[in-house]
Chains A and B, each alone.
Chain A
Amino acid sequence: MNNRYAIKFSKDGYVKYTSHLDLLRMFKRAFKKTGLALKYSQGFNPHPKMGFAQPLSLGYSSRCELIEFETQMPHTTGEILEKMRGEMPEGIKLLSCFELAEEIKSLAADADAAEYKIWIPTDLDEEKLQDAMKSYLEKQEITALKRQKKTKKMEPVNIRHMIRKLEISKVGQFAMIKALLDCGSKSNCSPELVISSFCQHSGIDTPRYDMEVERINLFFVNKLQY
């Protein structure tokens, strides 16, 4: 028993406009309220041992978010779920709770890939979309503009090697892209880069705010999934 757990939850509806940090504060408060005492880090400014496996961009919904944490005392996963469920705001649904195996250092460190569904309203038909995706993926280099952390400037980067799989189909008025992308501390590709470069490539001029993105899967090293 190492008192390390993770909760899997979904984020849907208006609450998708809650930022990563605000959500973290919400969980911290929920733990405090339920009396599930978290272990605190040592040091000058102690903070609870708790964090998301992978941050989710503001505005994305998700059915596979993971929060990992360490408690002071052992609890059953059932107890944790039951207590925490009462404390969630509208739109956050707790799906499951499990113990973290000893050999896993942390979910955040082990995150490897993520799968998204991207919905883009467009007039293009299925055939045109398929063609566009084919030629997009055949490119040796796919350049997307990415804001650099330090300089805050937009710089072109090649994202081709971070794209593991892309599928497109027409569902109603939407082009629906299923994207499997690198995700984690080693290599990370934001769906935003795929969206902007693919739209440019295929001539789709739908404004970004008409699109929806949902994270549907998170994959970890050694092909683990939770």
Chain B
Amino acid sequence: MDLKLKLDQLLKRVEKPGRYIGGEVNSAVKNPEDVEANFAFAFPDLYEIGMSYLGLQILYNVLNRKENIYCQRVFAPAADMEDLMRQENVPLMTLETKTPLKDMDFVGFTLQYEMSYTTVLNMLDLAQIPLYSKERGDEYPIIAAGGPCAYNPEPLADFIDIFVIGDGEKALPDLVEKYIECKKAGMGKADFLKEACKMEGVYVPSFYEPEYSEDGTINKLCKLYDGAPDTVLRAIIPDIESVEFPVNPLIPMVEAVHDRAVVETFRGCTRGCRFCQAGMIYRPVRERSKETVLKLAKSQLANTGHDELSLLSLSTSDYSCFEELATELIDYTKKENVSLSLPSLRIDKFAFDVLNKIQEYKKSGLTYAPEAGTQRLRDVINKGVNDDDIFNSIEQALILGWKHIKLYFMIGLPTETYEDLDGIADIAKRIIDLNYKINGPKGGRFNVTVSVSNFVPKADTPFQWEAQNTALEFEEKHNYLAQKLRIKGVTFNYHDNTTSAYEAVFARGDRRTGRLLYEAHKAGAKLDGWTEHFRPDAWEKAFAKSGIDRDFYTTRKRSFDEVLPWDVIDCGVSKRYLINEAKKAHDEKTTHDCRLGCTGCGMNRHIKCAMDGILKKDSVQERSQRDE
């Protein structure tokens, strides 16, 4: 029977069938026969999640602007749809033209979180494509992957043909163009990969093979093809002002998690928090000009009819013209009846004025992330906030009428002791007291939520050598905190311990962990990020079958001279800097924001840092004068 007819029957039997139909406003309409390459952008999670991801909009736009390339989308089906697809033998298809993935030229997965890896495998399986790259001949599409998790590509190395590391706006279309060129020249997959591995940001895992020592660590990485580079430097766009940003984004038909206009103000972060992977791998800070941001925001709103606008970056208020931008946007969005959302604000005096203006009527909730409970530990992680920063901001918030404060902390950070946990409870308690002081002995309706997540050491951070806490340690800390936080008006939330261990295995896993992934997939693991789908039993089975020792990857502290699985990827920041930062962390010494002067991370070997020292001397004086 015709596949489309079969799909139609399936759609009548599943929940939210609108997730599988495509045809949204601004979706690309082309004839797959008329283009030179068909690319499926695959997001290993449900439609509602994937459609909220800005990277999809950006890459969909850059690829489809090319007449000879057709970029289509595919998401993971929900469980009910998957069951029917398997039962009726319907392969995974693209939304736009309902083409089976196995008939595409390229399938490109975006790797946003480690817990989506089993879904990558499950989607390949649903597409009836062999999982292991060595089992795929020229008749199958090239399977590519990119995104922040690709900075440690090794757990997926046996399944993915090509990784694209770094900024994708140029690297990805270049890669597809290269594919077209090779296809025209009559080259097969093997020859194409040899060409591709010479390109910026491209890593072809099958050209390398790790050799292990007796203790299980990597002895060295052997090259199987001489033409492959020794290390792959991530693709870096020197100037994001010049790259295409979508002004006609796809508008989801089924409500997505974030259904709003989004403009990226800048990429990168100057703060240097030592646990933060994003703060390292997106360096240096590259901004869009205020004029461009405004223009993009206005045209996106005009083109979509969205009634919400959000700015996106790693630290919204670090944008160099933030005050001017915020002021203009507040005026504009008010006039247009659009609500403005400014995530990741560093709360200072100006940020408050801004928040106060945009939340005039509904002071929904204020989120603050001290990350650690004591100054000592905040210095270790280089968070760059002190008690005064925290309590002055919160006091201000209480005076302005906020009734709900949400605090984010991490536990299991390097050097953490129970004193640091006490610090978390102290902060919560002091905020409650502050509220009594400001709002009277009854305090009114007021609530503090303390959310605690488990620290997962990530590749390319100064903490990449650190041991993760054991599940038992986490559990004891959670119990301890639960006791300590039995305070009236305080709610305590924490994350599941099992998933953080799995996340940690893959965050720093080597190629052998791919076997674990395979077994987990075989045992039925998928959509592991969803509590309702997460199956610890499947994972336990997979650990047993694959023989992978979880502690080797999670709770083992590495030495600085150990060969790390992701050493083959050069994220731009030097290892010397990471080691230096790791040492400073243990000495409880902070490193200043690089806007106050270069801190020597090594990025300027590749590209000029526009933010280097901009807040030094004159500019700092100017700022403090204005603040007074």
Residues of A within 8 A of B (CB): 13-15, 17-19, 21-22, 25-26, 28-34, 58-59, 87-91, 208-210
Contact = CB atoms under 8 A, between A and B. Distances in A.
B11 A59 contact: yes
The 4 A-B pairs of least Cβ separation, nearest first, read A33-B305, A90-B23, A29-B305, A32-B305
Interface in B1-51: 9-13, 16-18, 20-25
B310 to A, nearest CB: 16
B307 A33 contact: no
B333 interface: no
A210 B9 contact: yes
A208 B12 CA distance: 8
Contact of A14 (B9, B21, B254): B21
A58 B255 contact: no
A18 B21 contact: yes
A209 B305 contact: no
Contacts of A13: 23
B253 interface: yes
B493 interface: no
A71 to B, nearest CB: 15
A91 B21 CA distance: 11
A25 to B, nearest CB: 7
Among A32, A34, A59, max chain B CB count under 10 A is at: A32
A22 B305 contact: no
A22 B255 contact: yes
Contact of A89 (B11, B25, B304, B306): B25
A87 B17 contact: no
B305 A17 contact: no
A91 B27 CA distance: 13
Contact of A29 (B12, B20, B304): B304
B255 A89 contact: no
Nearest to A18: B18
A17 B21 contact: yes
A87 B9 contact: no
A19 B13 CA distance: 14
Contacts of A30: 305
Contact of B12 (A31, A32, A88, A209): A209
B62 interface: no
Given A29-B251, A87-B25, A17 B304 contact: no
B21 A87 contact: no
Among B10, B18, B20, max chain A CB count under 10 A is at: B18
Interface string B286-318: 000000000000000011111100000000000
19 contacts: A15-B253, A18-B253, A19-B16, A19-B18, A25-B255, A25-B259, A26-B25, A26-B253, A28-B305, A29-B305, A31-B305, A32-B306, A32-B307, A88-B25, A89-B24, A89-B25, A90-B22, A90-B23, A208-B12
